Each structure stands twice: as structure tokens, then as C-alpha cells.
A and B are shown apart, each in its own frame.
Chain A
Amino acid sequence: MIGGLFIYNHKGEVLISRVYRDDIGRNAVDAFRVNVIHARQQVRSPVTNIARTSFFHVKRSNIWLAAVTKQNVNAAMVFEFLYKMCDVMAAYFGKVSEENIKNNFVLIYELLDEILDFGYPQNSETGALKTFITQQGIKGQFQTKEEQSQITSQVTGQIGWRREGIKYRRNELFLDVLESVNLLMSPQGQVLSAHVSGRVVMKSYLSGMPECKFGMNDKIVIDKAGKGGVTDEVGKSDLGGGGSTSGKQSIAIDDCTFNQCVRLSKFDSERSISFIPPDGEYELMRYRTTKDIILPFRVIPLVREVGRTKLEVKVVIKSNFKPSLLAQKIEVRIPTPLNTSGVQVICMKGKAKYKASENAIVWKIKRMAGMKESQISAEIELLPTNDKKKWARPPISMNFEVPFAPSGLKVRYLKVFESKLNYSDHDVVKWVRYIGRSGIYETRC
């Protein structure tokens, strides 16, 4: 198991050092600094073995987190734990920065004592942790016996993510379908790979211990329902909104993963998503689709080398969705060679600028409706070099935001049942929103 955990600043100074196992000596702290932080090259592997000691490291802005071990630990678990550690710290004191870590080092030691025992990760749900480790020190005095046992049963219990006795005057639910659409296209317009990775993020403000059931237009469920003639749920697509009702009836989901509150065995057997939600904001599920993706934009690049010192670039973007919808925050990034000396740009819409420090022309358009087209052309002047290394021609990348789900996912229902308290599904106010963003959306040129 994890033998020790160190946090360093970018200079390699130790901010936190907690050793759990005897086999990790103080020299391990220095070994990592010398061999990884101070190494000249970029990181060649997130797992580094130095003198039979393995270091798992992740970097968050300027901060290095390193978990150290001499045993054959579960590597995936160690990384998951390090990410979790970052989440927990962020939940307690905001950004994981040197300043914040130094200011909260006592708290971090307390947390580390709690969530990692002898190198074994323990309950690390911030919801639960905050009930007894608070930024104001550890609660203790005001706890009655009941409170204490409630804390411990929550920390160790089946529903570790929610406490009993939550009350809201107004029961509300916010549901965001956030998708990032990824594309790699060849210069000729052939889709080399495309996928959507989506997340369903919920904010729930519900009283008691509500039982929720979530439904979407998953092909497997719909087909099954269609066959069996069960149409009761399909008919009532009360949440199906989002403006664009046309399009596919159902989508094929390649794979999905769920928050630990979802009953996985139930999903496996019935493909129904049922759960008792955590309070506040959480990510209910992640999913991935690769079939029939709506690619909101198409980029058509044209690069021509005019002699050794000049490049002509023309890029056309076409929006490919319903004209009534508006895409926002559109940004096209056209890379330029390292030896660029000057750039002239002409664009019909939006603003374009050559940013020498980023080696790119950045073209920004605030809004663009569907089924439109826009164009930019640029002349790039190059300094003659005798550098033999060819310019790698990085792909043209794009950023945007659209108000629909490129995967075609629709929320069909979200039902809330709370048998003990007297509110019903109809009393809950539900809000649904779809946002599609660009992930890595690249076209080679």
C-alpha cells in the first residue's frame, strides 16, 4: 500500500510529508526532488522508480503530489486517490496552491490521517468528512452521542454520501447535461475519430432520503420498451425539452460510469438508473458515444507554401445545426510556424489576431447561428532559417459552446420518491439544461 505521501512546490520544497510505512525513508523525499522535479526533461512517465521505490506523481498547477511505495500496489487506485485528495483539498480551501497548502497544513495532516490509514484509502467523501473535520478544527464538543454515532455510521455506512434529516422548504433539482465533443479530422474532411464524452451533473436540494430514478433515450431501454409494448414512460417525456425535439429517437451509448450512489447491479440487470442522491452538487454519470454524433462545426483548411518564406492559409468554418440555435464562444486557433515574422489576417466575421507568444492565429467569434459559414484568410511571412527540423504542422483546433447535446442524448424523466416525507414527484421543481462544448476538436492541415 501507499508508504508515504509528499506535496512539493514547483521548486521541489516539501510542503507536506506524511510517511505511513517504515520502508519509506527520508531520502525518498529528496530522491523525487532530484530525479523528477529537478529533471531537465519533461515527465516521461507518471510512475517513476528510483532505487526500488516507486513514485506516483501528479501535478496541479505548480504543486506536485507524490505517493510513494515499495510494494506492488494497485496503481490505478493510487492515482484515483491522488485526484481525490486534490478534490478534497479543493473542497476545503479552494484552489490547490502553495499558499493555500501552507496556510492549511495542519488541516491537511488531519485529513491525511483520516482518509489514508496505513496507506489504505478510507472514506474520502467530502460530504462525510466535513461533518467531523472542519476548517474550524475538529468538531467534538457540541456533539451529542447521537450525533457522534450518526457521524460514524455515515462515514462507514452504506450511504456514506448523504446524511439523514436534510430539510428544504422548496424541493428543487437542477440537471445539466454537459457534453464535450471530440473530433480529429483529416485535411480532406474525413473523420478520423470522433466521440462525445458527456456528464450528467446534478444539483439536488431535496428533503429526507429521496429515492430517484433517472431515464434517458438510451437505445437499449427504448428498444426493450418498444418490444414489450410498454410505452407509459416513453410517452411522458416531460423533461425532453431543450428546444430541438426533432432528430433521433434514441442514442447508442458505448459505455457509462456512475457515481457511487447509483445501484450498479440494478443497472446491470435492468439498465435502470436508481439512486439516493448526495446533497448539493455531484456528477451522476459519465458516458461516451461514438455513433451518429452531430458535429456542430466543420473546419476546412487550405495551407499553401509560397516559396520558402511565405505561407498562405485559408480556413472556412461551417456550422451544422438548426438555424434557430446559436453557438457561442467560438474560437479557432490556427498554428503558425516558429519562424513566423509577420501575419496579415482578413476575416469576414469576428476578430482575429496573431499571437506570437502562442505561435498561433486566434480567431474569435462571439455568436454564430446554425447552417452558416465564415472564412478567414491569412498570409504568414517566415524568416528564412537553416533549421533542418521540419515544422510539425499542428492541427487547427476549435472551441465553442452549443445549446444542445451533440450526442443526441435526451433526458426522459427524473422521478423522485420520498415515502417518509409528504412531498411527491410533482412537487419537485426540476430544471434541465443541455450544453455541448468542444473537447479536443481538431482538424489536421
Chain B
Amino acid sequence: MEWANQLCENRQFGSKMTDSKYFTTTKKGEIFELKAELNSDKKEKKKEAVKKVIASMTVGKDVSALFPDVVNCMQTDNLELKKLVYLYLMNYAKSQPDMAIMAVNTFVKDCEDPNPLIRALAVRTMGCIRVDKITEYLCEPLRKCLKDEDPYVRKTAAVCVAKLHDINAQLVEDQGFLDTLKDLISDSNPMVVANAVAALSEIAESHPNSNLLDLNPQSINKLLTALNECTEWGQIFILDCLANYTPRDDRESQSICERVTPRLSHANSAVVLSAVKVLMKFMEMLPKDLDYYGTLLKKLAPPLVTLLSAEPELQYVALRNINLIVQKRPEILKHEMKVFFVKYNDPIYVKLEKLDIMIRLASQANIAQVLAELKEYATEVDVDFVRKAVRAIGRCAIKVEQSAERCVSTLLDLIQTKVNYVVQEAIVVIKDIFRKYPNKYESVIATLCENLDSLDEPEARAAMIWIVGEYAERIDNADELLESFLEGFHDESTQVQLQLLTAIVKLFLKKPTETQELVQQVLSLATQDSDNPDLRDRGYIYWRLLSTDPVAAKEVVLAEKPLISEETDLIEPTLLEELICHIGTLASVYHKPPSAFVEGSRGVMHKRLPARTGSGEGTESPDVGNVAGGSAPEAAPSIIPSQGDLLGDLLNLDLAPPTTTGPPPPTSGMQMGGMDLLGGGLDSLLGGDIGGSPAMGAGFGAAPAVMPASLNAPVGGGLGDLFDLGGGVGMPMGAYIPPKTVWLPAMKAKGLEISGTFARRAGVIQMELVLTNKAMSVMTDFAIQFNRNSFGLAPAGPLQVLTPLGPNQTIEVSLPLSTVGPVMKMDPLNNLQVAVKNNIDVFYFSCQYPISMLFVEDGKMERQVFLATWKDIPNDNESQFQIQDCHLNSDAASNKLQGSNIFTIAKRTVEGQDMLYMAIKLSNGIWVLAELKMQAGNPNYTISLKCRAPEVSQCVFQCYEAVLKN
């Protein structure tokens, strides 16, 4: 090992001429020169040349042409040179696999070196060279190194298994490396354990179903022991691995928590956050009345606050995570508002995140302080920050009712500053305040109207227009104000156009006499001169509404709006649960599930919080995991619905009666309406009952007639389409309810006969029971209980049989059900075991509920999300069924299905065959995607179902059949 000597010499030499010279700019013919130098006889010159090559490689020049020359330098005793050549090899071996093989011998030899540092170096580098031929030679040395006497070599070899797996997974399995790796979890050296855990976790990620890590109480115990002894990084690997474990019961959960809490005092923020993740997850399983639960909650706050004194980048990561934690368990940080106050020197990304958390923590107790801060922030320099501060004031008003008045006056103060973007932002939030507290603050409208001219952002303009339309009756010159917007109608953004259309229609309905001209103008602008189908369609709806039945129009357009909820920007609960399982990771920074930004098979696995279980029923909990395993939704990556969405919602609400969520969006006007609709649809519009009221009739008779002929086809289509959905808009078809069947015959239950069915009404699952007393004595004291079942159905209240049931008397009871009960997989899946008690005895029966009861109302999906999810689910999970003898056209079918919360996402027609793409969401968050194929004239439909939990497919199919045939 003479190289060390040389090395020292070289360094001395190097101190005179520093390494930075290698970065100097290059001339033409450089490669040629380097080649010559690499082949030089002088060792020094060689090394200099390799350094130059590495420097060129670093700055991104292609030096792969020098491959043979560089590899030739490898046969040296000089370790520094060797390492440089290795570095080169790692980069370029792939491009020259045949040449790379030259290096194998050296590697194999080095793996036998007496010096453990060299053995480790060889196995580490070899794993980085991603050439099949080299990998073959890697197996034997790797096997030896995994059992090396030196822990340094073992810990390096452990990571090497992960490298090899990345190149050739099959090879790793065949060679039995996985088992060796598993053995290393019991290694005596903590760092070897940590690296083995890291490697196994990574490999397990690409085999979602394999039980590679095989976490059980024994192995968990080993990990917890290693946790106390290994490096900070090792602690992170182990904690992240622990977080994937589901304890058997609350006792185990508590004991793990107890052993993890000391990590909260670690100086490394990542260790702290990973510990927080484990605690947040396992806490789910602890009963809330447990003393320890409270202790744990208290222990979590201080370390989270401490994270805020870390470097700004870490603060940012911490804040994004705190944002999640605050949503999940607001009690942890509710007294810590002050630490989230913005500091003048905070980087902007820290400021924005702090602001977000301040709003989440705002409550009656601290609102005065918060408002004072927010007002301060609204005078800062950064535009985004100021906007967010203004918006935050509005959100405080909505969240804490007592503060609303103060917030409104603060906003008015800010409007007085006349700073353009402050004014606009204030108007946008004031609109929300109006929605939340109707008839309370309308006195400020006058002030708002003064600023009409300065609004140049679509969102602010739209908000202002909404306000004018909504309160048209209180604003004297509402028509003038709206008219002023109308001039540049076509230059406005769609958002503003839609809002303007609605506002003018509202105005017209409130003051019909003065504004006829205006409404005609806007309707013709929207329907005739616009290319935007949304705008056109909405225009036609209003037009038709106004012309057929002005009274109905009034009821629809001026319907009372539901109040907006307090927190508009909460993360959807299932997503939040998943993100809590990813605390500390990128997913928690992006607030998106890993599948949204990780390619390939990694990260597809969805994590969920464990269900709370008592210690007695421990064994079932893994089952919960399985059923729910692949179920968290892909959808809703949008973190905070922008104000734009909110506005969109408002608009939708204007259209639909308050109780429904509105019709599914028509896929496209062109496609859906066939030519046949044209005749009927449009004619009826033109010739039909125009004369609704004399005042309007006169105006409306003529207008549509001047529609350009070329527009007819699409327009007719669009309208026809609307008509079809007409039924859906006003009165959605009810969900399918199976006929009542006898569940418990009288002879089996001492005279009590129970028949019944299940229904879903307004989002609530009802069990409708008919109890008949066929005995001779009076029955009283009814009670009901369910056994654990697949979807956690449980009575949401007691069985309401208030009067005693006399002989031959029948009573109908409806029992609301919840889906938060204990879960156990049943066979068949939709089986429900019920116990009914009365004064005579306890009776048991079982019944099956249609799974459609569990389809929730928010099962709609974005088309892109649908597409992505469809692709994402492996084909193995697809099942196909036939529905025979069904005579519905696709639209009718779609309507019917929608009644049962099966939502059509898209429709496609290929060669006379209609394909409907549909999405269903189950109450436990499982998504089912369906493709329904139907051919005109053929009564047999084909349906394909795709779901991450394929067990449900059969049940879902049964529902389709039942719904479509009834």
C-alpha cells in the first residue's frame, strides 16, 4: 500500500497548485489531450488527468469517450486514484458495459482485502455500477460481506442489497439475500440494524403485498432497542419503519409510545418529526379517557414548538407538518398561538405557512391578538403575504362569530388604504362574510361600491358583481353598476362573465320593469356571441327558465343559499389521515399523497391510521388494514380550494335547489345530444309556451329566433342534454331501495316477525324495520344491536319503539345507521348479523344489505383523476360481469345509477357502443371505478369493475343489476 505515501506527496504538490485549476475553461481538442495524459507513463500525470476528467464530468461535459483510458488507470495501488476511477465508472459504466467488465477482477480482489475499509469500499462501489454483467459477479462477494466479521462491512453490504434489488429484483430473491438481510435486523451492531431496516423498507415499498418486514412484537422490540443506540440517521430509519407497524392493541401501542417519546428531545429535527409521526399514529389506538393519552398530548407540544427555532428550511417542513397536526388534533397546540407570529426576517415561505396555522388556531380566546397581528401584516411589503393576511382576516370572521364585526371594520380600514391589491382581496373575503352572516353587514356595500373602478382582478370583479346582484334591491344604481361591466363583456374572464350573467338575472327578477333590456343584452351576449359552452349553457337555462315560468325562475335563481361552512380549506379527512402517516416526508410538505408525485410502483401503497381497538378485540385490527388498505382516495390533491373554486361553488348553488349537489356536468354538448333531439328540443323552445308573463313574453319571443343557423346543431344538442338532465336537477331519482323481505319469521322468534329493508336517504343509511307481534302477549323494551361487520355499520341511535306492541299490531320503525362501528370482514361481504331484544327474549337473525347503501354522495371524481386511478389499479383487480335483459338507454341508465350515488364521470360512444365511466365511493373511502358498455338494441350490458379492494366487486355488481332492473 504505497499509495498513501504517494498521496501525501501529491497533496503537498497539490497545495501549490490547487484543485480548482481543473475547473478552468477548456479548449478545443481537450479530450484528445486528456487521452494522451491518461496514457502517460508518469503516475502523477495520470492522476492529474483523471481529476480533470472528473471535473469535466461534474460540470456536465461528456467524457465517456475516455472510458477505456480511465479504466486502465484502475489497476493501481493508489487508493485516491482508485476512488476517482470508481467515481467515473459509476457514471459511465452503463454506456460501456463490455469495458466495465475489466473492473470486475479488481473489485472481487478488493472484497477479500484484509482492511475492512477497502472491503466495504469495493462492495459499495460495485453496487453502484449498474451493469448486468458486473452484477452477476457481485453476488458472491456480497454474500460474504453480509456475514463479514466487521460491522462496517456488514452495514455497507446491507445497503448494497437494496442497490442490487434496484437493478435486478429477481436476482436478490433467488440468491436469498432478503433472508440474510432480515437476519441482520437482529445484528449486534445498531448501525447494521438501522441500514438493514432502511434497505428492507425500501425493498418492501416496491412489493406492497409481501410481508418482507414482518413486523411483530419481537422484531419491534429489537428495533426499539437499537433505537437507543444508533446514529441520528439510523434512528430516523427505524422510526419511519416503526410507523408502518400496526400494534395489536392499545397496551402494545402505549408501550411503544412510551419508548419512542424520549426521541422528542433529540437535537435532530428529523428524528423528532419521525417520532411525532409514530406517536400521532399509535395514539389513534389509545382510548381517550386513558391518563396516558392526555400526558402524551401534552408532551407533543413543546418539541413541535422547538422545531420553529431550527433553520428556516426545516421550519418550513415543520410548519407544513404542524398544519396537518393542527387539523387532526387541534388540542395539541391550541395554547401556542404566539409562537406562530411572523417575524420580520422570516423568509416568505415561513411567513405564509405561519399565517395559515394562525388561522387554524384562531379561537374566541385569542382572536384579539390574532387580529392585531394580521392587521400589522397587511401593511407589509410582500404582495402574496399581504393578500394572505387580508384573506386571513376574512377567515377569522367566518370562523369566530364574535369577531366578525371587528374583522369587517378592520377590512374596511384596509379598503381605505386604497392599496389596489388589498382592496381587491378585502372585497373577495367580504363576499364570504356576507354569505356566512346574511343581513348583518350589508351597510358596508356603499363603501365597496366606491372601489368598483379599481378592481382589475377577475376574482375581485366576480365577487363584487356577486355582491351587487345579491343585494340588487338595496343598491339604487345596481343596474348602472352592472351595465358598466357589460361593456367589455367579451374581454372578461369566464368567471366574471358567468357571475355577471347570474347577477343580471337576479337583478331582473328583483326589479323586472327597469332591467328588461339589460337582461336581454346579457342573455344574447352569453348565448350568441360566446364560444364558451359553460356560459352558453347557463345562458340558455336562464333564458328558458325565464320564458317558461318566471315564478319558478325566481324560486330557482333567488333560492335561499346554504350557509358556507366555517373552514373551507380543511384537507379532506381521508387524505389527512394518509398524510398524518407520512409526517416528516415530502408528502407532508406537498400535502399530497405520494402517488401524486412518485412515479412507478413506489408510494402507491396508501397508508391509513389504525382503528381504535380495545385490547380484547385486537386480532381483528389487521383485517381492517386489509380491507381499507388500498382505499384512500386519489382525488382531492387540491390543498386549499382557491377562492375561484369557492366562487364556482356559489355559482353552482345558484343553479341548483339547495338540497341537491347539482347534476353531473354534461360531458360535452356536441357528443351527448344526438340529431334527433334537435327537432323536438329546439322547436319546443321556440314555439312553446313563450308567454309566461306579459312583461317578459314580449321580449323573449323574438330573441332566440335570430340565432344564427349554424349554431343550431350544437345548441340543440346542448339543450336536449339539459332537458334530459332536467329530471335530475330538480328532483334526483331516489336511491334504489330493495323491497322488504322477512328477516325473522314469527315462529323463530316467539311471535315477533321482523321484515325490513335498507335505504339511503339524504346521505343517511336507514334500516327500515316492520315489527309485527304475532303472539298473544304485549311486547315492550325493544333494543337492537349489530355484530361487527365488514363496513362498520352500527345503529346511530336506539331503536325507537316507544309504545308497547300489542298482539297483532304492526309498527314501522326506521333506524338510522352509522358506519363507524367496529369492523370485521364478513362472508358474504354485505352480511349483517343482528340481535333484537324485547321483554321476552333476545333473537338473532342475519340479513344482507345492498352495498349501494354505502355509496356516498361525494363520489364524484375529476376525469383526470379517474383516468389516473383507473390506470393505477392493477389489471388483476379488474372483474367483468354481464347484466342481462336490461332495456335502458345510456342516459337513462346513468340517471338511474346516479340516484344511488353511482356517478357517471364520462361517456364515450364508439361504433354505436356507449361506454359509461363511473365512479363510486364507499363510506369507508374505498373507490370503485366502473366501465359500463351498452350497445343499442342489445339488452345485455357488460360491466368492468376496478377497485383496490377487489372483494367488493361482486357486491357492487349485484347493486348495478338491482338498480338497473328496478
Cβ–Cβ contact A141 & B4, under 8 A: yes
Q: Please give me the residue from chain A that is nearest to B235 by CB atom.
A: A260
What CA separation (Å) do A340 and B585 show in the bound complex? Answer: 47
* B91, closest chain A residue (CB): A19
Contact B8 A136 (CB under 8 A): yes
Please give, as numbers and ranges, the residues of chain A lying within 8 Å of B603 by CB-CB distance.
71-72
Would you call A267 an interface residue if the criterion is a C-beta within 8 Å of the partner chain's C-beta atoms? yes
Interface membership of A357, Cβ < 8 A:
no
Q: Are B588 and A75 in contact (CB under 8 A)?
A: yes
A257-B233 contact, Cβ under 8 Å, with A14-B59, A77-B584, A102-B20: no
Q: A29-B60, A184-B343, A288-B306 are in contact. Are A72 and B80 (CB under 8 A)?
A: no
Other-chain contact of B267, A75, A257, A388 (Cβ < 8 Å): A257
Closest A residue to B321 by beta carbon equals A76
Within the complex, what minimum Cβ distance (angstroms) separates A189 from chain B?
A: 14
> In the complex the two chains form, what is the Cα distance from A141 to B80 in whole Å?
13
Residues of B within 8 A of A104 (CB): 19
Q: How far is the CB of A244 from chain B (nearest CB, A)?
A: 25
A74 in contact with B236 given A14-B60, A120-B159, A256-B265 (CB within 8 Å): yes
Contact of B115 with A by CB under 8 A: yes
Q: Is B51 an interface residue (CB 8 A)?
A: yes
CB-based contact B228/A264 at 8 Å: yes
- Give chain B interface residues in 1-41, CB to chain A under 8 Å: 1-5, 7-8, 10-11, 18-20, 22-23
Whether B268 pairs with A80 at a CB distance below 8 angstroms is yes
B598 contact set on A, CB distance < 8 A: 70-72
Q: Report which of B191, B228, B265, B270 forms a contact with A258, defined as CB distance below 8 A.
A: B265
Interface stretch, picked from A150-158, A235-243, A405-413, is: A150-158
Say yes or no: A120 contacts B198, CB within 8 Å: yes
From A79, A148, A255, contact of B303 by CB (8 A): A255
CA–CA, A371 and B344, complex, Å? 29
B667 to chain A, nearest CB (A): 29
Is A109 on the interface with B (CB-CB < 8 A)? Answer: yes
Q: Please determine whether A156 and B192 come into contact, CB atoms closer than 8 angstroms.
A: yes
Neighbour of B266 across the interface among A45, A79, A258, CB < 8 A: A258
- A20 to B159, alpha carbons, bound, how many Å? 12
CB–CB A137/B4 < 8 A:
yes
Given contacts A52-B599, A264-B263, A264-B266, is CB(A45)–CB(B23) below 8 Å? no
CB interface residues, B 583-610, toward A, < 8 Å? 584-590, 594, 597-599, 602-603
A197 within 8 A of B: yes
- Contact partner of A72 (CB less than 8 A), chosen from B79, B91, B231, B586, is B586
Task: Check B305 for interface membership: any CB of A closer than 8 A.
Answer: yes
Partner of B305, one of A74, A125, A255, A264: A255
Nearest residue in A to B82 (C-beta to C-beta)? A138
Bound-state CA distance A228–B670 (Å) is: 84
Residues of A within 8 A of B950 (CB): none
Contact A260 B54 (CB under 8 A): no
Select one of A17, A52, A139, A184 contacting B58, CB under 8 A. Answer: A17
Q: Is the Cβ of A392 less than 8 Å from the Cβ of B381?
A: yes
- Closest CB-CB distance, A222 to chain B, in whole Å? 19
Q: B419–A141 contact, CB under 8 A?
A: no
Which B153-210 residues have C-beta < 8 A from chain A? 153, 155-156, 159-160, 162-163, 166, 189-192, 195, 198, 202
- Residue-by-residue, is B259-300 near A (CB-CB < 8 Å gives 1, otherwise 0)? 101110111111011100000000000000000000000000
Let me know if B597 and A52 touch, CB within 8 A.
Answer: yes
Q: How far is A263 from B60 in the complex, measured between Cα atoms in Å?
A: 46
> B20 — which chain A residues lie within 8 A by C-beta?
99, 102-103
Q: Mark A129-148, 1 if CB is under 8 A from B, else 0.
A: 00010011111111101001
- Of all chain B residues, the one with the shortest Cβ separation from A260 is B232
A-B contact pairs, 17 of them (CB 8 A): A15-B23, A58-B313, A76-B270, A76-B314, A102-B19, A102-B23, A118-B159, A120-B237, A139-B4, A158-B190, A192-B338, A254-B305, A255-B265, A257-B266, A257-B267, A392-B379, A392-B381
Q: List 3 tightest A-B contacts by C-beta distance, closest first.
A: A255-B302, A102-B20, A152-B152
Known: A117-B195, A158-B230, A260-B267. 16 other contacts (CB 8 A): A46-B312, A75-B584, A75-B589, A79-B314, A102-B22, A120-B195, A122-B195, A138-B83, A151-B117, A156-B192, A193-B341, A255-B303, A256-B306, A257-B266, A264-B265, A389-B381
Question: Interface of A with B (CB < 8 Å)?
Answer: 1, 13-17, 19-23, 26, 29-30, 42-47, 49, 52, 54, 56-58, 69-77, 79-83, 99, 102-106, 109-110, 113, 117-118, 120-125, 132, 135-143, 145, 148-149, 151-153, 155-158, 160, 184, 186, 192-193, 195, 197, 254-260, 263-265, 267-268, 283, 285-286, 288, 388-390, 392-395, 397, 440, 442, 444
